[in-house]
Structure formats: structure tokens, C-alpha cells
Amino acid sequence: MASTFEMIYQVVKKIPSGKVATYGQIALLAGNPRWVRVVGYALHVNPNPNEIPCFRVVNREGKLSSAFAFGGENQQRFLLEAEGVEFLPDGRVDLQRYLWNGID
């Protein structure tokens, strides 16, 4: 049976380029809506960032992670912009436009 982190990573791997998911959405799709903090921790210790695109995960308001999480200030934003994700004037991802539906 897969570990909690493995289940989380399997969901994150499904987020398509140019889309984002929320921590809560990942928790729900991984099997337990109460795992929101666990998702954050799992992504923080991501063993394979090249295969597990944790930069595509944002909070429920579309806000990005702290600068340290992806190797430098604005790195998450840079990675998302490289995939075509645009940001609202306040720096959040427009979830109405870029939120992954959990299916595709």
C-alpha cells in the first residue's frame, strides 16, 4: 500500500502544465481532506522536483509559497509564468482561470 506522501505525490504529478491546484484539493484527491498540512510538508521534502511539480500547488487564495521553498525569491512565480500562468495585480494566481479541475 502506498504511503501518504506517495499518494500526495501521485496526485501532484497529474497537475497539467499551465494549471495549479490547492493544498486542500491535493489532500482531498489523495484520500483525506484533513491532510492539508501534510501536503505542505510532503511538498517541502519533495524527493524529486523534476518529476513532482510541487511549484504548481498554491494556497486556497492562490497565493504562492514562501520564497525559500523553490530555491529563491519568486522562483515559484517564475516557473508558473514559464508555463503560461498569469497573475492578478496582487500577486495571486487567478484560480478561476488556472485551477486544475482534478480530472485532466
Q: How far is CA 39 from CA 42, 58, 77, 83, in A?
A: 5, 11, 19, 22
Q: Which residues are catalytic?
A: 54
Residue 22 β-bridge partners: 58
pLDDT at residue 48 in the model: 93
| Mean pLDDT estimate for the chain | 92
At 69, is the pLDDT very low, low, confident or very high (cuts 50, 70, 90)?
A: low
Amino acid at residue number 97: R
Say if residue 66's pLDDT is above 80.
no
In this structure, are residues 82 and 39 in contact, taking their beta carbons and an 8 Å threshold? no
pTM strictly above 0.95: no
Q: Which domains does the chain have, with CATH numbers?
A: 4-98 (1.10.10.10)
